Amino acid sequence: MHDTPYIHPRSKGCILCMRCTRVCPSGALQPVADDEGETIQKHVKMGIAAIDKNICNSYNNYACGVCVRACPFSGVALYAETWEKPVVNKEKCVGCGLCEQACIHYPQAIRVTPIAMVKG
Ligand code: SF4
Ligand code: SF4
């Protein structure tokens, strides 16, 4: 596990710049072309975001939606229902963590679970 890269979303989410793939010496990280996001959504899967409705402002009478606006695939991977209630599309979420970084609630009401820890 030593030196294994990981993302700490509350500090900084992944902006999908692919620069890590340029310096990876083993080829474990491969670049993915950016064609308006479709290829990235298909091939990048670092984790999946989930919302804790018990503490999310929008699910508790205070319309927020900050996380939806922070998502690079807003409206696709993360979209808003009435009163800015965020909803994750698990098929499209890449696990970048930018929603978790942006969440105005503390502790975060939206968090990314690493893909290796996602059940089933
Ligand atoms: S829902 Fe969150 S983790 Fe998933 S793509 Fe959008 S910002 Fe990234
Ligand atoms: S930013 Fe946080 S509190 Fe606001 S809608 Fe998103 S998950 Fe809920």
Helix (H) or strand (E) holding 79: strand 78-81
Domain assignment of residue 8, yes or no: no
Domain assignment of residue 42, yes or no: yes
Spatial separation of the C-alpha atoms in residues 66 and 103, rounded to whole Å: 6
Domain assignment of residue 56, yes or no: yes
Structure confidence at residue 36 (pLDDT): 76
Averaged pLDDT, 49-73: 98
CATH code of the domain covering residue 23: 3.30.70.20
Domain assignment of residue 1, yes or no: no
Which among 64, 82, 111 is the best mutation to test ligand 2's pocket, defined by most ligand atoms within 8 Å of the CB? 64
Tell me which residue range forms the domain holding 40: 19-117
Structure confidence at residue 88 (pLDDT): 98
Q: Which three-class secondary structure state does DSSP give residue 59? A: helix
Q: Does residue 1 surpass a pLDDT of 60?
A: no
This prediction's pTM? 0.94
Structure confidence at residue 38 (pLDDT): 87
Averaged pLDDT, 25-52: 90
Q: CB of 103 closer than 6 A to ligand 2?
A: yes
In the chain, the number of structural domains is 1
Closest Cα to atom 4 of ligand 1: 93
Nearest ligand, CA of residue 105? 2
